[in-house]
Structure 1
Amino acid sequence: MKVGFIGAGKVALAMGNYWLSKGVAILGYSSRNMDSAQKHAVLTNTRAFTSPAALAEEATLIMITTSDDAILSVAETLAGFSLPWEQKIVCHMSGAHSSQLLSSLSDKGATICSFHPMISFGTVPMSGFNLDKAFFTFEGTGQRLKDIESFLHFLGHRYELIDPDQKVLYHTAACVLSNYFVTLLNTGMQMLKRSGISQENMMDCLKPLIEKTWENVLKTGPESAMTGPISRGDARTIQLHLESLLKEGRSDWLEIYKTMGKATVELAVQAGRIDPETADNLYKELQ
């Protein structure tokens, strides 16, 4: 399978570099910014294409790795080219959007899909994304959809075919698990700093707690991994926490604490850690 990328951002570079390491034939990159395409081509020892049409003509798997807002217009532009679309697969890598953004290409006979690794790309170097460990989801339509499954098998990935109507919820979950997790950590760090933990010692303070918590979740799941006052039904400690946050005058901290606290009460009930009466008392404290 010959792969070409339309869009030359960090995702395209990371995916191209990773697939090359797996022996995939990467043709190169096309971008509105020719400098970006040339830079990516140099970094991956591939080619910079002068137009999407030139790339699409040679590629059998066309990866659209533009911003989400540009996917539809790129697809419609491609659909205007006279190519043997029934022989081609066109995928985008948006986590939030389904393959229906590519319907203009499906109408031409192309196999279309959305293809997404459940991993955070962040700003680390392309060698640091650990794509070999990523879980992939995909969905789409067309006679060559099985080729995408074969491709994932070739790469050695675990994957799941996802309902296109649930892609937004899937991406919302990814956002909560990654983006909002970072925000939650930042909020906790702000509280620690206010409590007297120095910036110099912050990561040493955090690391064992976060690593052990995550280790427990991976080993046993959230229900068994949960600890803390709510899992024990300790309403007095919750009261003290709330009083402390009120004293600080940070309504944003208080709102986060209450929202997370209510969700934790629900988890504790689900896990059989506390009875309904204890849960009701905790809910009242967290109103």
Structure 2
Amino acid sequence: MSRPGRLAVGIVGAGRVGAVLGAALRQAEHDVVAASGVSEESLARIDALLPGVPVMDPEAVVRAADLVLLTVPDDSIAAVSAGLASLGAWRGGQIVVHTSGRLGTEALADAQGAGAMALAIHPAMTFTGTSLDLTRMTGAAFAVSGPAPLLPIAQALAVEMGGEPLVLDDRDRPAYHAALVHGANHVVTAVSQAGGILARLGIEEPGRVLGPLVHASVDGALGEAPGAVTTLTGPVVRGDAGTVAAHVAALRGQDEALFAYRAMARATADLALSGGRIGPAQYADIIAALGAEG
């Protein structure tokens, strides 16, 4: 016998996020009744993460579900919501959730206009689209937004999927998402560029060189208050303009890495100056050593 309050869940867009969240809700004993997917990758995810769940077109998924996960790309959410509304697929009392970090519930205006209850729930985690994600989501923050009377539903769903709900106003979601992208995606870019530089020097396993240092640096930064520079190390916070100049010279011809190095070194210098790690004269020397961009 099913637990009380269990919902019929439909997934529109069984990409890396949708299929995993559907599997998490299934583990919480909700009934995943349908999923949509077109690509071979999506169909394979449904088969692997949601075995036995029928594949239907988006309209049929919505009509079959009490809770719809609208897990399509950010720029498609409003259009898909509107298209389904034009087909009369949404109904009163239905719950519809999108998982964009940037957008609020305004993206689901057409579903709301048809009487559906709209929520935005974004897990602050990177997804592989495999069962590995079910473990990685445990304890992750889930940014939840929606009308105040509906927030307890969003919070309960986040908890059932293994997350820790973080309530955000719709208007704050773009800044929240920018912070996550800058702190996670851009770190991957920087590490990838650093690995490329080491590989060009003939170092066969750049990850072994970078790993301990990167982990220690990130762990230290995560333990500090925003804007703190206690754990910040390196030539910029030492005021070592000569080393910075040597780095710039060594990176000439590697335009992407040089551009990123200059931008992040300037930001580091700003942080070090405001945190009292370097003085105005050292700051000026660092900026001069970085030289002109372009």
Classify the TM-score, shorter chain: 0.7 to 0.9
Q: Tell me what 2:192 maps to.
A: 186
Moved over 6 A (4+): none
Q: Does 1:54 align with 2:60?
A: yes
Q: 1:285 aligns with which of 275, 286, 289?
A: 289
CA distance in 1, matches of 2:45, 2:196: 39
CA distance in 2, matches of 1:203, 1:37: 33
For residues 49-82 of structure 1, the C-alpha deviation after alignment (integer angstroms, 9 at most, x for no partner) is: 5343433334222110122343223212332455
CA RMSD of aligned residues (A): 2.7
The answer to whether the aligner puts 1:210 opposite 2:214 as a matched pair is yes
Partners of 2:20 and 2:49 within 8 A in 1: no
CA distance in 2, matches of 1:227, 1:262: 14
> Residue 267 of structure 1 aligns with which residue?
271
Correspondences of 1:126-205 after superposition (within 5 Å):
126-128=131-133, 130-141=136-147, 143-194=149-200, 196-199=201-204, 201-205=205-209
Letter in 2 for 1:234: D
Residue 73 of structure 1 corresponds to 79
Asked if the contact 2:15/2:71 (under 8 Å) is kept, the reply is yes
The number of residues matched between the two structures is 282
In the alignment, does 2:18 pair up with 1:12? Answer: yes
Flag the 1:252–1:80 CA change in 2: closer, same or farther, 3 A. closer
Cα 1:186–1:262 shift into 2, 3 Å: same
Residues 6-37 of structure 1: CA deviation (Å, up to 9, x unaligned): 11222122112223233333223134569955
Q: Distance in 2 between matches of 1:32 and 1:215?
A: 40
Question: Once the two structures are superposed, what CA deviation does each residue of 1:155-179 show, in whole Å capped at 9, x if it has no partner?
Answer: 4522222232333333333222222
Task: Tell me, yes or no, if the aligned pair for 1:117 and 1:134 is still in contact at 8 Å.
Answer: yes
CA distance in 1, matches of 2:202, 2:25: 43
Measured in 1, the distance between the counterparts of 2:230 and 2:42 equals 48
* Residues 34, 50 of structure 1: 8 Å contact kept: no
Deviation per residue, 1:203-242 (Å, 9 max, x gap): 2212111122122223335522210111111222222222
1:126 maps to a residue whose letter is S
* Segment of structure 1 superposing worse, 82-91 or 209-218: 82-91
Q: Does structure 2 conserve the Cα–Cα contact (< 8 Å) formed by 1:113 and 1:139?
A: yes
Partner of 2:257: 253
Counterpart of 2:100 in structure 1 is 94
Q: Which moved more, 1:19-28 or 1:89-98?
A: 19-28
> Which sections of structure 2, spanning at least 5 residues, go unmatched?
1-5
Partner SS, residue 169 of structure 1: helix
The whole-number CA distance in structure 2 between the counterparts of 1:209 and 1:38 is: 37
TM-score, length-scaled by structure 2: 0.83
**Which ranges in structure 1 are unaligned for 5 or more consecutive residues?**
none
Query: CA distance change for structure 1 residues 145 and 52 in 2, over 3 Å: closer, same or farther?
Result: farther
